[in-house]
Amino acid sequence: MTELDPVIHAPARMRIMVALAQLPSGDTLSFPRLQGLLDLTAGNLITHLRRLEEAGYVSTRKTGRVTTAELTDPGRAAFAEYRRSLKALLG
Amino acid sequence: MVEGQLDPAAALALLESQERRVRAALDPGLALTFLTWGMAWLVGFGSIWWQVREQSPYLGPQGAVAGLFAVLLTAAAIFTGWRTQRAVAGIGGESARRGRLYGLAWLAGPLALFATFAALGRAGAAAPVLGVLGACGPLLVVGLMYLFGAACFGSRPMGVLGAWLLVLAACIGFTGPVIAAGLAALLAGGGFLVTAAVVARRGRR
């Protein structure tokens, strides 16, 4: 039975992964832009980003006053696998 | 939406709708950019051709027509810059670095061309010489910019358009300043419009 990655399989975290996966590897997205794209509150976004960061899927960095986030290589692979699993489950 | 209550079908639907939404937000709108530039070139060069077509001897674009051309190109540049900036806001890293360099080249290229014009005028170049450069110079600079853009961002439409503009830059000057202005309006402006249509059609697929 195909299992879905529980770290990604939650609406807010999946949407964060989708947004970051649209950028090429090596690109980052600022916290305010990510928040605007997702319509999440700052607190919610921070909570879910932290969970993704703990799993090694996302990396965040603070430069001056701006915090940026990017998908890591394992995160990119996990997201591709998550999508494959979803499609496999749906036949 | 409550955490942990996504069935696979709902998850895939959410994933795909979010993907469409983010792509639309990050898209600088290449089709609209090409359409804007196509109209600016068609009207700008078309007006120049209309004014100079019966000049004998050739004097070149005068007064309002030359001003209109400058206003159209400036408006197109401002519109493109605003759309692009809105799309790429908050993006950092390699793409941002390439984008900044590309933006600077769009500023430096036309300025260098304008300076060349001024230098030729100062050196006593005749009106027909300036007329030929006026038609071919922008094609050369913009053609190279689009090839540069294609290399940076992997955009095939940019590459094809850039190559087309360079072919025009190499050829139309031999027809003289009057016909060259007309050809720049039709073939370069038209090239932008065709590219806009191709990009828009691909985007709808």
B89:A68 CB<8 A? no
Does residue B54 belong to the interface with chain A, where contact is any CB pair within 8 Å?
A: no
Residue B85, in any domain of the structure: yes
- Is B119 within the bounds of a domain? yes
Say whether B8 and A89 touch across the interface (CB within 8 A): yes
B135 belongs to a structural domain? yes
Cis peptide bond upstream of B57, omega within 30: yes
Instruction: Inspect the interface and report whether the beta carbons of A23 and B25 lie closer than 8 Å.
Output: no
Instruction: Answer whether residue B11 is part of any domain.
Output: no
Q: How far apart are CA B162 and CA B49, in angstroms?
A: 23
For residues B36-40, average pLDDT: 95
pLDDT reported for residue B1: 43
ipTM: 0.90
> Would an 8 Å CB–CB cutoff place A77 in contact with chain B?
no
**Residues B42-91 pLDDT 10s:** 999 999 999 999 998 999 998 899 889 889 988 988 888 888 888 888 99
Distance CA B137, CA B134 (A): 6
**Model pLDDT, residue A90:** 87
Residue ranges making up the domain that contains B99 = 37-204
Categorize the per-residue pLDDT at B2 as very low, low, confident or very high, splitting at 50, 70 and 90: very low
d(CA A82, CA B6): 13
In a domain, B7, yes or no: no
Query: Cβ contacts (< 8 Å) between A36 and chain B: which residues?
Result: 90
Say how far apart CA B45 and CA B26 lie, in whole Å. Answer: 32
Contact B27, B74 (CB under 8 A): no
Q: Which of residues 79-118 of B touch A (CB under 8 A)?
A: 89-96
**Residue B66 resides in a domain:** yes
The rounded distance, in Å, linking the Cα atoms of B133 and B113 is 9
Report whether B117 contacts B137 (CB < 8 A): yes
Tens digit of each residue's pLDDT (9 = 90 or more) over B105-130: 988 999 999 999 999 999 999 999 99
The conformational region for residue B104 under phi > 0 = left, psi -120 to 50 = alpha, else beta, is: alpha
Contact residues on chain B for A83, CB-CB shorter than 8 A: 15
As for how many domains chain B has, the answer is 1
Residue from the list B11, B90, B92 with its beta carbon closest to the beta carbon of A32: B90
Query: pTM for the complete prediction?
Result: 0.83
